[in-house]
C-alpha cells in the first residue's frame, strides 16, 4: 500500500472519532496531520473544514478526512474550497463509489451517525478505491469548471 499524507479535522462532536480514525490511519502506515480541534470545547466546524480543505487543495496533503456530528456541515464548508471534492459517506458502498466515480479527495463522516467500527470500515473502503477516470473524468472536469 502506498503511504499517503492525510489532513484530518473535526469539531467537538467529532473529536473522539477523529482521534480513533487518525490512530487507525497511522497503524496503516499513513502520515496524519491533525489540524484540530484538540479538545471538547464547543467550536465552529467551518474553521477546521477550511484548514483541511486548503491542505488538500494546496498539495500539503494527498487526502483529507473531516468528522462532525453528521458530516454534512464539514462537507458543505470544505466544498467551498476550489479543488476539493468532499463527500459525506455513511456506508462503505458510497465511500468506495465517491472515490471511483467522483474522485473525492475529502471524506466526511458523522460521529453521531456512524459508530466507530463502521467508521473504520468506511475509511478503509474509501482508501482502498481510486478514481477510475474514463467517462467519469469528463464529469469531474465539469465539476471543476463550476469553480471558475
DSSP letter string, 88-134 = E-SSHHHHHHHHHTT---EEEEETTTS-HHHHHHHHHHHHH-----T
For residue 89, indicate whether it is catalytic. no
Q: Of these residues, 12, 24, 101, 136, which one is catalytic?
A: 101
Clarify whether 40 is annotated catalytic: no
Are 109 and 90 spatial neighbours (Cβ–Cβ below 8 Å)?
yes
pLDDT value of residue 1? 61
**pTM recorded for the entire structure:** 0.98
- For residue 83, the domain's CATH number is 3.40.1400.10
CA 107 – CA 63 distance, rounded (Å): 8
pLDDT in tens, the chain (148 residues): 689 999 999 999 999 999 999 999 999 999 999 999 999 999 999 999 999 999 999 999 999 999 999 999 999 999 999 999 999 999 999 999 999 999 999 999 999 999 999 999 999 999 999 999 999 999 999 999 999 8
Q: Which of 30, 68, 89, 108 is catalytic?
A: 68
Residue-number span of the structural domain to which 134 is assigned: 5-146
| Domains: count for the chain | 1
Task: Give the C-alpha separation, 60 to 84, whole Å.
Answer: 13
Q: Are 103 and 126 in contact (CB under 8 A)?
A: no
Residues 100, 84: Cα–Cα separation, whole Å: 15
Q: How many CB atoms lie within 10 A of CB 31?
A: 13
Amino acid at each position: 500500500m502506498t503511504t499517503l499524507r492525510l489532513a484530518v479535522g473535526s469539531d467537538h462532536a467529532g473529536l473522539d472519532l477523529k482521534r480513533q480514525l487518525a490512530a487507525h490511519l497511522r497503524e496503516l502506515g499513513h502520515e496524519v496531520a491533525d489540524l484540530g480541534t484538540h479538545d471538547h470545547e464547543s467550536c465552529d466546524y467551518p474553521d477546521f473544514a477550511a484548514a483541511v480543505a486548503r491542505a488538500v487543495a494546496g498539495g500539503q496533503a494527498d487526502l483529507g478526512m473531516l468528522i462532525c456530528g453528521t458530516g454534512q456541515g464539514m462537507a458543505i464548508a470544505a466544498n467551498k474550497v476550489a479543488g476539493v471534492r468532499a463527500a459525506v459517506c455513511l456506508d462503505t458502498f458510497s465511500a468506495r463509489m465517491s472515490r471511483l466515480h467522483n474522485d473525492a479527495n475529502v471524506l466526511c463522516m458523522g460521529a453521531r451517525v456512524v459508530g466507530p467500527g463502521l467508521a473504520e470500515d468506511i475509511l478503509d473502503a474509501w482508501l482502498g478505491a481510486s478514481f477510475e477516470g474514463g467517462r467519469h473524468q469528463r464529469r469531474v472536469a465539469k465539476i471543476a469548471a463550476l469553480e471558475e
